[in-house]
């Protein structure tokens, strides 16, 4: 179940709630008991890394690794005289 963040428009109180995806949004502020809670939009607190589909399937060009070229050995550069 995801954790949703709420903020009261009346008193400014912030609140986190563990709710099901299909649950109705909360509207009653637990601090001031007014029906002024608004759901906040926030980023997820984690990043998916590794060799799974989420990293490699939607990349374009030659960059296929989140770490970039740092994880592969360096290529020797050709010098011309």
pLDDT tens-digit profile of 29-53? 999 999 999 999 877 666 666 666 5
**Domain of residue 32, residue span:** 3-39
Which pLDDT score, from 0 to 100, does residue 81 have?
47
| pLDDT given at position 36 | 95
**Residue 61, domain member (yes or no):** no
Residue 23: its pLDDT value, please? Answer: 92
Count of structural domains, the chain: 1
Is 12 a member of any domain? yes
Cβ atoms of residues 11 and 29 within 8 Å: yes
Beta-carbon contacts of residue 2 (< 8 Å; ≥ 6 apart): 18, 19, 21
Is 7 a domain residue? yes
In a domain, 48, yes or no: no
């Amino acid at each position: 179940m995801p954790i949703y963040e709420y903020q009261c428009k009346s008193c400014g109180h912030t609140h986190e709630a563990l709710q099901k995806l299909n649950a109705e949004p909360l509207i009653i502020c637990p601090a001031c008991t007014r029906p002024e809670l608004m759901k906040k939009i926030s980023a997820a607190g984690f990043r998916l890394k590794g060799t799974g589909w989420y990293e490699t399937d939607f990349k374009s060009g030659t960059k296929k690794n989140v770490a970039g070229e740092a994880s592969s050995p360096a290529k020797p550069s050709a010098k011309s005289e």
